[in-house]
Amino acid sequence: MKIFAIFIIISLILVIPSISAQEINIEEKAKQKSVEVIISNTGDIHVKHIVSSSNSPKQIDLIDGTIQNLTITDEEGKEQLVTVIGKKDAVMIFPSETDSVVEYDLEDVLLLKDNVWTLDFLYLETTIFVIPEKLDLIFVNDRPVYMDDKRGFACHGCQMILEYSINEPKNIKQVNWEGKEFLVEIRTFADIESFDFNQPVKKISFKISDDNQFVTAIIPLELLWEPYMVFLDEEKIFFHEYINNGTHVWLNMRPETPGEITIIGTTVVPEFPIIAPLAVGFLMILVVPLIRKFNLR
């Protein structure tokens, strides 16, 4: 009799299907109201998904990386069952009358090298990034983005490489010319040496001691007027000119090797002051109608 009972139990175990978390597959995606990636000063990342309520099971894909401290709660903070799909690639959201909140920490994706934090990011939902405090300059796919006092930005259908540096040194260089004082700011982790302003050839030059470091020069327009060319040891290099607020211009470059950086403009003070083009334009507005009136007579 005992043998027969054991046989029945074994038969039931073999017949009833065993479903692991990795085998669950909910094809219908959940509707996400928002996705937020919060980055701390120390490089920690916390992710928060707000998922719309639904009367049927849905799934949401998680952002690639090492997932830690995964939780699902309702709007009131009550914890819900966490059902993982695959190797923490996604989670199941069970039917709910309220929105669900999926939160987790993301590790091993934000890397620090040579004073530059780098995040290689891919997530096709619109994502809001909250960046560390006092960070006013970031780089998205190698392009500088000036944040000023903004704490975040949105990325739509997001595929990007985000880079930034925390507490980047600001080197202030003073230039005196014709009784006027100009301040040139150079932001970089590289050491700056031999700064020089050469008025006759319209250039600013300085040496950097490190390779592959971001270098941002903030130049008064009255001192050196655009357009610009940038050289590293007499070889022309790529740079971004991305801010011109009417008084200063921001130039950014990332030299691959140490050497001397030379920034050449078209005009310097006092030969062609910044106000001169405006004055000439204003005079032309006044003179042209008078010339036409004279010709008609």
* Structure-block tokens of residue 186: 């150079």
pLDDT per residue, tens digit, the chain (297 aa), is 444 443 333 343 333 333 333 344 556 899 999 999 999 999 999 999 999 999 999 999 999 999 999 999 998 889 999 999 888 899 999 999 999 999 999 999 999 998 999 999 999 999 999 999 889 899 999 899 998 888 999 999 889 999 999 999 999 999 988 788 999 999 999 999 999 999 888 899 999 999 889 999 999 998 998 899 999 998 999 999 988 888 999 999 999 999 999 999 987 665 444 444 444 454 455 544 544 543 434
Bridge partners for 140 per DSSP: 143, 162
Amino acid at the residue 158: C
Amino acid at the residue 156: H
**Cα–Cα–Cα angle for 68, 83, 49, nearest 5°?**
60
* Structure-block tokens of residue 149: 């006092």
* Structure-block tokens of residue 53: 């309520």
What whole-number distance in Å separates Cα of residue 66 and Cα of residue 53? 27
Question: Domain residue spans in the chain?
Answer: 23-164, 170-268
Q: Which CATH class is domain 23-164?
A: mainly beta
Residue the block writes with tokens 């695959």:
86
pTM of the predicted model, to two decimals? 0.76
